[in-house]
Amino acid sequence: MGTDLCVASILTGQNMITATTPIEVLDMKTLLATLKAFRKGDFTTRMPEDWTGMPGKIAETLNEIIDMAADTTTEF
């Protein structure tokens, strides 16, 4: 997953400051495909582990939820 950049220009007095800030983009198609597979009982489905920022935290959390559900089903 690539990181897009946002360039913002801020006018401060007579000087203009330009800052480049990464924009975090969550791949909604990947998220939906993972959720649909999980809903069907596929406990092997996973979100990518190389995502960073907030999308990475969401992916990591969903992967942990899937792991916990898989562990629960193997206990029975």
Contact 32, 46 (CB under 8 A): no
pLDDT digits (tens, 9 = 90+) for 33-74: 999 999 999 999 999 999 999 999 999 999 999 999 999 988
pLDDT at residue 74 in the model: 80
Residue 26: what are its φ and ψ, rounded to 5°?
-90, 125
Residue 37 lies in a domain: yes
Residue 50 lies in a domain: yes
Residue 40 lies in a domain: yes
Domain containing 44 equals 25-76
Distances (CA, A) of 73 to 42, 43, 46, 67, 68: 12, 10, 17, 10, 9
Length of the chain equals: 76
pLDDT at residue 71 in the model: 92
Residue 2 lies in a domain: no
Number of domains within the chain: 1
pLDDT at residue 11 in the model: 56
Residue 8 lies in a domain: no
